[in-house]
Amino acid sequence: MAKVLISIKILPSDVTTDLNLLQKKIEKELPKYASVYKFNEEPIAFGLTALIAHIIIPEEKPGSLDKVEKQLQKIDEISQMETLMVRRVQFS
């Protein structure tokens, strides 16, 4: 069954934002059909670190990417988001 892997760069609202806590909030806010594959951190500047969330969503569910983005925008600790990549992946 094919799934879609999306990578989203998330900028925290503050340099002091706890990224571990932010990861847990992201996992909690995601719709039930979406799951986190993994997180990466990317240093930006002046102590600010972006969080790269790699999220798996079902291919056959239309509008699921928009719903994921809307749910993440509800988190106060997120300042900005940018979708970096959307790719179809096959799991066996």
Number of domains in the chain: 1
Task: Report the predicted TM-score, pTM, of the whole model to 2 decimal places.
Answer: 0.91
- Check whether 6 has a pLDDT greater than 90: yes
- Let me know if residue 57 belongs to a domain: no
- Let me know if residue 21 belongs to a domain: yes
The pLDDT-based confidence of 48 (bands split at 50, 70, 90) is confident
Range of the structural domain that residue 34 is part of: 14-49
The lowest-confidence range among 5-9, 17-21, 42-46 is: 42-46
Tabulate helix, strand, coil % of the chain (nearest 5): 25, 50, 25
∠ at Cα 53 (50, 56), nearest 5°? 170
- Let me know if residue 31 belongs to a domain: yes
- Is residue 6 packed enough to be buried (19+ CB in 10 Å), middle (13-18) or exposed (0-12)? buried
